[in-house]
Structure 1
Amino acid sequence: MSGKKGAREFTQMVPSENKKERTFIVEFWAKVFDILRWVSLFQLLCLLVRRRPTYLFVDAWVLGHLLASLLAVVYVRFSNTNAFWYFILFYSYLRVFEIIVYQVNVLLFDEHRASLRGQDYYLRSYRRIVLLLLHNYFEIIFWFAASYLVLAGQFSFEKFHGSLVGVIYSSFAVMTNIGSAGISARTLAGLYVLWAQSLVGLFMTLVSLARFISILPVPRTLEEKEDGKGRPA
């Protein structure tokens, strides 16, 4: 009996000891992504005006960039090579980077930072953040489609011969891994771009699934241990 009692005491001691044990991985990456978020035109604008962005401004920013990304694909497809092409290329990758950093911060670190400051953390709306995420998802598809056209010499277009619809479809297929992309890399640089979009697509798909699950209604259950443990409405 004394042996069993000692075992129970040991198992009860472990959780309390673990709570006091120091860890650094969360704080490390929270700091890294807190720095990376400044690689963003949005953050720089907020810094210049010295005001916290309103929800309406954020909505307009996201919707405006979705339209801008689509127009960028159309412009590159139906214009001749010029300096503005390379501005689009630079800004497309900057914008994709900004979106990824933002999503990582919202998903993992914003609430953590707020709790360390002793502040409450709230989202404006679960449905709103899912809609904004979908806007970001398709915006990334359009930005990569524009980059494929700017860097056309780095790729082989197996289908549609680089048409507008074809290059958007290829970007969608690379992003989602659904269907045949019809595009392949001719150079190492092209391979890096395809690889980058595949990784971005995997991350955005996982985030999208997590967000969709968070807004699904939770049915009540007859199990007392399970009932009342649903997600907040």
Structure 2
Amino acid sequence: MGPIQPMGHLDQLAKLTFAEETEAITGGAVLWQPGPEIGLTEVRLDGLFMIRDPARLASLAWPWPAAEGHEEIVLEQKMPGDHLDNRAQERALLRRQARQVQRLEMEMETPGQPRWYGQQPLWMSAPILPEEVSASRRVRRAATGCYWVEPSPFEWLWIAANELPLCEELVPFLIGRSGRALVEFARWILTRRPPMWVLRMHPFQGAFLAA
């Protein structure tokens, strides 16, 4: 048995799975892009969802239907062991705001393009919805495992991976599960992915041994 991979490996695996599967599981309705570097010191997004065909999202499991009406969405991916406190939330909000400004500036630099006056949505995916969020903000359930965080001038959706149902279109989010929910995911995914795919989840080996 090889050495346990560092926590950053899980983050990279989640992003890789979004990159590999987002287009397929949404039927081409959503594309994943690596987060672009933004013109602030050490500010980089985890990734962006680029919405190409919103109408195809209505039949998918949440959170995908929440992407309807948007051209792109900022994703903040939190893995087991990552901080979810107020500081982590504020950093995510900073990155979202940086993308908001960057997008406005990019459109201003492109003559002939229609002006965009919207607000960049933010999806935060983590194993759980922490008490820090519900203690400081109003949380409204949108669907199983999905919560609107309010008040907010933009759509802020919190995705609690441990609560999401087990289904194919949610696999990239389900990688972020923890504890017993991760073991449940391990048992389920073993019957739905080839061995080489499963081997990439080496850091989860404890969950797979339990499965």
State the TM-score, normalized to the length of structure 2.
0.24
State the TM-score, normalized to the length of structure 1.
0.22
More strand, by proportion:
2
More helix, by proportion:
1
